[in-house]
Structure 1
Amino acid sequence: MAFHYAPSSRRPGLMFTLAVLFAWTASATMAPARADAVLDARHTIEESAITVDRLREETAKGGEMDHLLSEAKGVLIVPSFYKAGFFIGGAYGDGVMVARLPDGSFGDPSFYRMTAGSLGLQIGMQSAEIVFVIRTEKGMSAVLNDEFKFGANAGIAVGSVGAGAEAATTTHVGQDIVAYSKNSGLFVGGALEGAVIRPRKDWNAAVYGVGNDDPRAIIQRNGLRAALNLKDVLSRNNTAAPPADTGAATDAQPAPSVPAVNSSPVQPESR
């Protein structure tokens, strides 16, 4: 039986066709995933604004949270931090962080994920909404690291929210970060002290564009339309002036210049 082989000159054309087919398949697979990431990220922004409103209502009598927000260097919000399983599996939740710009306004949000082990989460906690008010440059620098562990990189205190909240300390003097949560079970066994924050660069890239996933650059932007309500909520009831020197926090330094990036949010692509 005779075997006939195609001339070698045809093989490059076949390889090119296969390469195009592979690229098209990969693109078709990635597009829905990117659109889903954009929708999830925007939902987290919306839920973060609701969380800030809800927790500041709980602290309205004393005005404590409003006062700290007016002096904040930045704010990290985790609208839904919940247990992955019963007794084991730990807990996690996605959130956003915004920073105070030199003009006193808040910049665009960078996305983060918070995780914690199961120790300390087994009693009294199924889910929690958390707002971390970052009061110092040290606190901001610590959170902006690729991996930040509460209790190891910066001092943290617990603010009082409602009658059911338990405060780990009665004073915030000298603390880098103050945490607010309606769920007192979050603080049982020092669970918050072991929590880890990492940037969600996949969401950052989906919202701001490929190559624009660095939190340090993102928080200096101010053009994401989807974050307008969140910024308005954070600035409500405070002067939105640059933080004053309270003795516990240093004056804000002008943000370093970063390369210009596209400020328009990525629109979810049709499937």
Structure 2
Amino acid sequence: MNKRLCIALLLGMSMIACTTTMPANQASHVSKRQAIDANAEETLNDLYHQAKGSRELVAKAKGVLVFPSVLTAGFMVGGAYGEGELRIGNEQAGYYKTMTGSIGFQAGAQSKAIIFLFMTQEALDHFRQGNGWTAGVDANVALLTIGADGSVDTETAKAPVVGFVLTNGGLMFNVSLQGTKVSRLNL
């Protein structure tokens, strides 16, 4: 074979290899996005069933950041990780990941859902313009509570950023979202 033909074959084969790996990678990203979308929708529906007035509050929010499953695990030193999506006007507006670390007496693992509601345009813009965002540093997050009648506490809902934490047992009230780090997930 002559040298030009060998180079052409090598270039052709490398082009084929590039095109055969890309669709599989794109397909895995598509399926991951679809799973996040479906799980976020299910998490919001769980919230609506557990807290009267939450659907209306979510509708008023300028943006809704939903992490359907944040896995927390540790023994003395712990960490948490989850993936979710930002919704603006009921449309998907980006994928994000959350990570948290902790030190202290702890043992075990748990999964929870975290929902952040950006109630003002300023709070949403601040979140979207940064390279990363940390609850308690970049914005104070008011953890929403449920009143005696089972509805959302309207005073807490007036904060620029509010949050819900859900477990299999229902809404959690005595948790802190301080230090929860959020950054963009490239999918």
Normalising by structure 2, what TM-score? 0.80
Cα offset, 1:162, TM superposition: 9.1
- Between Structure 1 and Structure 2, how many residues are aligned? 178
- The corresponding residue for 1:19 is 11
Distance in structure 2 (CA, Å) of the matches to 1:136 and 1:120? 35
> In structure 1, the residue corresponding to 2:156 is in which secondary structure?
coil
Distance in structure 1 (CA, Å) of the matches to 2:78 and 2:4? 51
Cα offset, 1:127, TM superposition: 1.0
> In structure 2, the residue corresponding to 1:118 is in which secondary structure?
strand
Over the matched positions of the two proteins, sequence identity in percent amounts to: 25
- Computing the radius of gyration over CA atoms, which structure comes out larger, 1 or 2? 1
Cα offset, 1:66, TM superposition: 2.8
- The corresponding residue for 1:58 is 50
Which one has a larger percent strand, Structure 1 or Structure 2?
Answer: 2
After the TM superposition, which residues 88-167 of structure 1 pair with which residues of structure 2 at under 5 Å, given as runs?
A: 88=77, 90-100=79-89, 106-119=90-103, 122=106, 126-144=110-128, 145-160=130-145
- The corresponding residue for 1:77 is 66
Which 5+ residue runs of structure 2 have no aligned equivalent?
none
Paired letter, 1:70:
A
Change (3 A) 1:185 1:66: closer
Distance in structure 2 (CA, Å) of the matches to 1:156 and 1:66? 19
Distance in structure 2 (CA, Å) of the matches to 1:161 and 1:120? 29
Change (3 A) 1:81 1:186: farther
Change (3 A) 1:67 1:51: same
Q: 117-126 or 44-53: which moved more?
A: 117-126
Change (3 A) 1:83 1:23: farther
Root-mean-square deviation (CA, aligned residues, Å) is 2.9
Which 5+ residue runs of structure 1 have no aligned equivalent?
1-5, 101-105, 164-168, 204-271
Cα offset, 1:84, TM superposition: 5.3
Distance in structure 1 (CA, Å) of the matches to 2:24 and 2:174? 35
Which structure ranks higher in relative contact order (CA pairs < 8 Å, sequence separation ≥ 6)? 1
Contact 2:75–2:105, Cα closer than 8 Å, also in 1: no
Paired letter, 1:172:
T
Change (3 A) 1:153 1:59: same
Paired letter, 1:179:
G
Distance in structure 1 (CA, Å) of the matches to 2:37 and 2:102? 26
